[in-house]
């Protein structure tokens, strides 16, 4: 159980009705707030998520995204799709890309706290986060095939990087649904915890992440996925540049000195 007190966010974050944003120290908690529609992602919802991600408080060092109600997220709001033409379909998908890029490549690492349905665009959102924590009610699916559509929120780019093309193809072609344990084995989620404890676990991880040096977190968020997309030769060069930037910050030097002087924690096994 987290002991940090969370208070309602101020400024533009307080004006968002589809996201309930609270702040506890260096951690921001964004809760999807449309439980009657299973947190289905309407255009306005996506815009508000984008707005939130680019307006996190200066003091934020990590964020958690969770969902209100019995499910994390039922994906795209299907009621808005029915009459979309080709041009607006492209723009709609690009709007999702911009919002989810703001999650993945924003200022702070984001932990997804998952429960219930994590399907379609809900899985696309979860895959834009940096770490996924699921409780044992969580299930993962990509029902786009049954709805006659395709992923459009970056899922074809991000989800294969977690679970591989073959598994994603299986989910999309057959309508197969993974439970939490299967999601863990496939790489869709990094933690599975007992029912109802996913938010506490996610907040605890976020609090731990928030204690890292910001430039180390930045390197993990921004350099690591790009290096993974580069050739070995280019990746090694990018790594050297990023490493030099991170280790030359005063914060890194203070932390290295603290370890050498016996003032920093040792590496211990935690869950």
Just list the catalytic residues.
124, 144
Q: Sketch the per residue contact string, 225 through 264, with ligand 1HE: x for CB under 6 A, - otherwise.
A: ----------------------------------------
Q: Which is nearer to ligand 1HE, 70 or 254 (CB)?
A: 70
Q: Using CA atoms, how far apart are residues 96 and 125, in angstroms rounded to an integer?
A: 9
CB of 19 to ligand 1HE, least distance (A): 17
CB 53 within 8 A of CB 102: yes
Site for ligand 1HE in 44-73 (CB under 6 A): 70-71
Radius of gyration of the chain (CA): 19
Size of the site for ligand 1HE (CB under 6 A): 23
Site for ligand 1HE in 117-156 (CB under 6 A): 117, 119-121, 143-144, 147, 149, 151-153
Q: How many CB atoms lie within 10 A of CB 87?
A: 8
Q: Using CA atoms, how far apart are residues 122 and 75, in angstroms rounded to an integer?
A: 4
Q: Using CA atoms, how far apart are residues 11 and 23, in angstroms rounded to an integer?
A: 12
**Which part of the chain contacts ligand 1HE (CB under 6 A), choosing from 32-40, 161-169, 201-209, 256-264?**
32-40
DSSP structure class, residue 76: B
CB of 227 to ligand 1HE, least distance (A): 27
Work out whether 77 is an interface residue with ligand 1HE (CB under 6 A): yes
- Strand ranges inside the chain, DSSP E: 7-8, 19-24, 27-32, 62-67, 110-114, 117-119, 131-135, 139-141, 178-179, 191-193
Q: Which is nearer to ligand 1HE, 98 or 149 (CB)?
A: 149
Contacts (Cβ under 8 Å, ≥6 apart) of 263: none
CA angle at residue 261 from 260 to 262, to 5 degrees? 90
Q: How many CB atoms lie within 10 A of CB 27?
A: 27
- From candidates 4, 44, 51, 78, binder to ligand 1HE by CB under 6 A: 78
| Residues 123-138: b if buried by 16+ CB within 10 A, e if exposed | bbbbbbbbbbbbbbbb
CB of 141 to ligand 1HE, least distance (A): 8
CB of 117 to ligand 1HE, least distance (A): 4
Q: Sketch the per residue contact string, 84 through 123, with ligand 1HE: x for CB under 6 A, - otherwise.
A: ------------x--------------------x-xxx--
List contacts with ligand 1HE (CB under 6 A): 37-38, 40, 70-71, 74-79, 96, 117, 119-121, 143-144, 147, 149, 151-153
């Amino acid at each position: 159980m987290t002991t940090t007190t969370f208070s309602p966010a101020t400024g533009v974050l307080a004006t968002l009705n589809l996201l309930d944003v609270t702040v506890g120290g260096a951690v921001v908690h964004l809760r999807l707030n449309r439980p009657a529609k299973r947190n289905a992602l309407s255009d306005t919802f996506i815009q508000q998520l984008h707005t939130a991600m680019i307006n996190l408080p200066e003091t934020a060092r990590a964020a958690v995204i969770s969902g209100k109600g019995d499910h994390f997220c039922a994906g795209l709001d299907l009621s808005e799709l029915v009459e979309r033409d080709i041009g607006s379909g492209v723009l709609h998908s690009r709007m999702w890309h911009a919002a989810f890029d703001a999650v993945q490549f924003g200022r702070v690492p984001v932990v997804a706290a998952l429960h219930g349905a994590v399907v379609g665009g809900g899985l696309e959102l979860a895959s834009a986060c940096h770490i996924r924590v699921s409780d044992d009610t969580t299930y993962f699916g990509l029902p786009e095939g049954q709805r006659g559509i395709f992923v459009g929120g970056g899922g074809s780019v991000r989800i294969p990087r977690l679970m591989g093309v073959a598994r994603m193809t299986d989910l999309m072609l057959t309508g197969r649904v993974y439970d939490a344990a299967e999601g863990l084995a496939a790489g869709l989620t990094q933690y599975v915890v007992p029912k109802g404890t996913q938010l506490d676990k996610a907040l605890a991880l976020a609090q731990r992440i928030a204690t890292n040096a910001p430039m180390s977190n930045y390197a993990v968020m921004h350099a690591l996925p790009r290096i993974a997309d580069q050739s070995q030769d280019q990746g090694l060069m990018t790594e050297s540049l990023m490493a030099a930037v991170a280790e030359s910050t005063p914060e890194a030097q203070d932390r290295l000195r603290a370890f050498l002087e016996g003032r920093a924690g040792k590496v211990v096994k935690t869950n």
